[in-house]
Structure 1
Amino acid sequence: MTKTALVTGASSGIGEATVKRLLADGYTVYAAARRTERMAPLAAQGAHIIGLDLTDDASIVAAIDKIRNETGRLDVLVNNAGYGSYGAVEDVPLDEARRQFEVNVFGAARLSQLALPFMRAQKSGKIVNVTSVGGKFGSPFGAWYHATKYALEGLSDCLRIETKPFGIDVIVIEPGAIRTEWGGIAHDSLVARSGDTAYGPYVRRHAKMFENLEPSRLPSPPEAVAKVIGDAVASKRPHTRYAAAGGAPAFLFLAHILPDRAKDRLIWWMSQRN
C-alpha cells in the first residue's frame, strides 16, 4: 500500500526539498503552495500539485477534499508553510501580525483538524510541524514571527498528547539557519517597516546581520531539513522534536542553559555587531 503525504509551502526551500525526499521514499505526494507555477518541476517528478492559500478556509478544505477523493487516505501531513515578517512591534500593523498567525499557525491548525479524521480511521498517521529554533528564544524586530513559532510549538505539544490514543504522532522540526528565501523576506520587511523609524540605527545593523548570514558557512541547504523530516516520518517511534541543521543543536542548547538576561545580551550583541 502506497502512503500519501501532503507538504505545504512546497514551491521552494524546505517544502520543495521535502516533496522530493518523500517522492524518493515512495510516497504519493501532494505539493501545496500559492505559487503553483513554481511547482512544475515537482509535477514532472510525480508530485500532485495543489494551489493552497492558508489564509482562505475554502482553499484549505478544497485541498483536503482533493486528497480524500483521489486517495482516500492521508498518512503524513507536513505543515511547513510559513514566513518571517519583521519589524519593531511598534511599527508592524496588526493586520500584518494577524496574517502571519493565519499562515504560520492557524493554517497548520486547520489542516491538522481536517487531516485527523483520516488518521484516526487508519489508526495511524504523522503530523509534522516545522517550527524553528526561533520557537525557543526571541530576537529583536522579529516578535510576530517568533510568537507564531512559540505558538506552533505549544499547539504541537498539546496535539501530541491528544492524538496518542489514536496511533498518531506529532513531530516538531526545529531548523536553524537554512539557505532559503526566508532571510530575504525577513530582511526586506524589516527595513521597509522600521528602517526609517526611531529604531532605524539598530534595524539597519540587524539587517546587515541578515545580509552577512546568507554567504556565511552557517546556513544549511534545505535538503538537510528534508532528510530529517524523511527519517522522522519513516520511524516507527519518532522523537517528539528534531533539531534540524543550520546550527540548531547549538542554538537550542544555549537557549536551554542561559538565563533570560544572558540570552538577551548575546542575541543583542549578535544583532548589532555588524
Structure 2
Amino acid sequence: MQKKHVLITGASSGFGMLTALHLAKKDYHVIATMRNIHKKNELLTRAKKDQVEKNITVHRLDVTSNPSLEELQTYLNKLGTLDILINNAGYADGGFFEDVSIEQYKKQFETNVFGLMAVTQIALPFIRKKKSGKIINISSISGLIGFPGLSPYVASKHALEGYTESLRLELKPFGIDVILIEPGSYETNIWKRVDTIVNYPQSEASPYHHYMMAILSELNREKLGDPADVARLITNLCEKKSVRKLRYPIGRGVNATLFLKKWIPWSVWESIVLKKLRMKSDS
C-alpha cells in the first residue's frame, strides 16, 4: 500500500513532535514543519532511535510568513498529494486586558488563527482531491472556557473553535473529517513557561498584581498530564476511516469541568472560579 502523507505544523516539540513520531511508527510519511529548523535535532534523534527517520521529512514553515507559506505551496505542488493536516503550531500569550496591547492580540491571532487558516487553505485542495482525509486542529479547553489573565490565548482558541465547526460542515460532503482536539493542562513548553509568557504586572502597586499572583499560583499547582496521551489520541483518529465526533476534550478533570460549565448558572460558575483563586467580587 502507498504511504499516507501527513503534514504537522509546530513539530519541533510537544504534541507536534510526539505525534510525528507516533505516526512515523505507523508508517506514515510525516512532513514535520517547524518555524526554527535548528530545533529539528531532538525529533530526528528520537526518530533514528525508533528506526523511523526515513518516514520523516523536516520542512521549515513559519505560518505567519507569506514567503514561507509560498515555499510550502511549492513543496506540496511537487509532492502532489496529502491525506491529513494536523494544525498544531501555536503559542499562549496572556496578561490582564488593560495591560495587553492590541498589537499583542493581533500577534496571537496571526499564529493561532490566521496562520492556521493559511496553512489549511494551501493543504485543503490536495486533501479534497482524494475525496477523503482529515484536518485536525489542536485547540484547548481554553477554546470553550474563559480564564482570567489569559484572554489573548482564550480569544484565539474560541475563534478557532467557531472556524472549525464551520469548516467541518463545509467539508463533510467531500469525505473530509475536520476534528478539534481540546487538551487541558499538559507538560509541554506552552505551560512549562507560563510565568514568562504572560504580561503580568510585577509591581505590587498594580491593581492586578495580587490577582495575577493567584492565577500563577493555581497554574503552578496544576498536575500536568503526559503529552504522549494526546499524541496517541491524534494517531488513533488518523487511523480511523471515518470520525463522527467533532470535539475531543482530553486531560485530567476536563470533561467534568466542561459539564459544570455547560449546566450550572453563570453566577455559580463565576463564584467557583473566583473562590478557587481566592478572589472576591465587588459586584
What pairs up with 1:71-90 in 2 under 5 angstroms?
71-90=79-98
Matched, 1:108 2:119: no
- CA deviations on 1:62-90 (whole Å, 9 max, x unpaired) are 12421331x32111110111111010011
Distance 2:104 2:180 in 1: 25
Matches within 5 A, 1:121-140: 121-140=129-148
Q: Which residue of 2 aligns with 1:201?
A: 210
> Percent same amino acid among aligned pairs?
35
Displaced runs of 4+ in structure 1, greater than 6 A? none
Contact between 1:175 and 1:246, CA under 8 Å: does it hold in 2? no
Secondary structure at 2:32 match in 1:
strand
* Structure 1 runs not aligned, ≥5 long: none
Label 1:246 to 1:73 Cα distance change in 2 as closer, same or farther (>3 A).
farther
Does residue 1:269 correspond to 2:275, yes or no?
yes
Aligned with 1:224 (options 223, 226, 229): 229
1:249 aligns with 2:255: yes
Asked if 2 retains the 8 angstrom alpha-carbon contact of 1:131 and 1:149, the reply is yes
> 1:226 and 1:43, CA in 2 relative to 1: closer, same or farther beyond 3 A?
same
**Partner Cα distance (2:238, 2:276) in 1:** 35
TM-score after normalising by structure 1? 0.92
Tell me how far apart the structure 1 counterparts of residues 26 and 62 of structure 2 sit (CA, whole Å): 27
Please give the TM-score of this superposition, normalised by the length of structure 2.
0.89
Report if the CA contact (8 A) 1:2-1:26 is conserved: yes
Larger displacement relative to structure 2 (245-254 or 90-99):
245-254
1:208-227 Cα shifts (integer Å, max 9, x gaps): 122222xx3xx211110011
For 1:122, the aligned partner's letter is: K
Distance change (3 Å), C-alpha of 1:230 and 1:210:
same
| CA contact 2:200–2:212 (8 Å) conserved in 1 | no
Give the match for residue 36 of structure 1.
37
Assess, with a 3 A threshold, how the Cα gap between structure 1 residues 110 and 7 changes in structure 2: closer, same or farther.
same
Partner of 1:56: 65
1:184–1:41 CA distance, 2 compared to 1 (3 A): closer
Q: CA RMSD in A?
A: 1.6
Matched-pair contact (CA < 8 Å) for 1:220–1:246: yes
Q: What is the DSSP-based 3-state SS (H/G/I as helix, E as strand, rest coil) of the residue aligned with 1:22?
A: helix
The alignment of Structure 1 onto Structure 2 pairs a total of residues equal to 267
Helix, strand or coil: the match of 1:122? coil
Worse-superposed segment, 230-239 or 10-19 = 230-239
Q: Does 1:15 align with 2:16?
A: yes
C-alpha displacement at 1:232, in angstroms? 1.1
Once the two structures are TM-superposed, the CA of residue 61 in structure 1 deviates from its matched residue by 2.7
* Greater displacement, 254-263 / 15-24: 254-263
Structure 2 letter corresponding to 1:268: L
Contact 1:9 1:32 in 2 (8 A): yes
The Cα of 1:6 is off from its aligned counterpart by 0.8
Counterpart amino acid of 2:85?
L
* Secondary structure in structure 1 of the residue aligned to 2:33: strand
Residue 65 (structure 1) aligned to one of 68, 74, 80: 74
Q: How does 1:164-175 map to 2 (within 5 A)?
A: 164-175=172-183
- Select which of 187, 196, 199 maps to 1:188: 196
CA distance in 1, matches of 2:181, 2:127: 20
Change (3 A) 1:247 1:109: same
